[in-house]
Structure 1
Amino acid sequence: MNIIEGNIGLSGAERVAIIASRFNHIITDRLVEGAKDCFLRHNGDEKKLDLILVPGAYELPFVLDRLLDSGKYQGICTLGAIIRGGTPHFDYVSAEATKGIANTTLKYTTPVSFGVLTTDSIEQAIERAGSKAGNKGFEAMSALIELINLYKQLA
């Protein structure tokens, strides 16, 4: 059996974007740091890493669509933090951000990773942004690097 899978390493030539929501920036700033750290640790060239900031998680799919349509990037990492509050707003934003990113990704042939936290509390978000549960930004970039390499093999 032939096994086809991506590896976790970059050639240094890949142009990658991080799209991050500014809302809950105390969390998303840590996610961005983790994603950048992963990119650099795996031979990424910092000059080929772009950070695009959007107001909130709801806006991620719209900007993702523009970036994918540009053909400028070999991969895009989406990052955000949606924290449950006392109203149904959490449910609407998390559902639309998730569906929007997924649906947009399916329209293109460029790898996209999903690093949007959906948590019940600020404590859970903090745990996933670099404390007890690791840094989900790092993990999202790691998944993206693997996908970039896998897509190369499937071309």
Structure 2
Amino acid sequence: MEPSDNPVYATEPARRLTNGFGLTSMLLGLLNIALILIMLVFAMKMVSDVNAANGITFADYEVLGDEEVGQMFSEYGESEPVVAMAAGLAGCLSVPVMLIGSILGCIGLMQSNAPKMGSILGLIFNLPLLLFCGCSMLLGVVL
């Protein structure tokens, strides 16, 4: 029996240099951070524009009722729809991107013979944001 025919002497499979799931998870985590920053910037712009247009400060929100505040923001949404749509779209897209990135990071960690760094970074980018958004949604429902 030749040594090349014996499976004991067979060579080990070559280690892959990249992990597609881990790399995708890491890129989705970076995209997610960008989406959340876009959402925050546009939401702050919307609030500051509403305050400037109506001549109110943040202290005036205690005096105003929910109906007046809702009316001011709906009027602003009609006059500047791009800002409101960008903030809403970025906020809505961030949650599925986080979930998909976390799942791909877990799949990348379970693969044998593949580098794990991209998967670990993807989970580091995605999981805290997913937990934060999940907890804030849960608090919004409970309160």
Q: TM-score, normalised by structure 1?
A: 0.21
Greater helix fraction, Structure 1 or Structure 2: 2
Q: Which has the higher strand share?
A: 1
Which structure has the larger Rg? 2
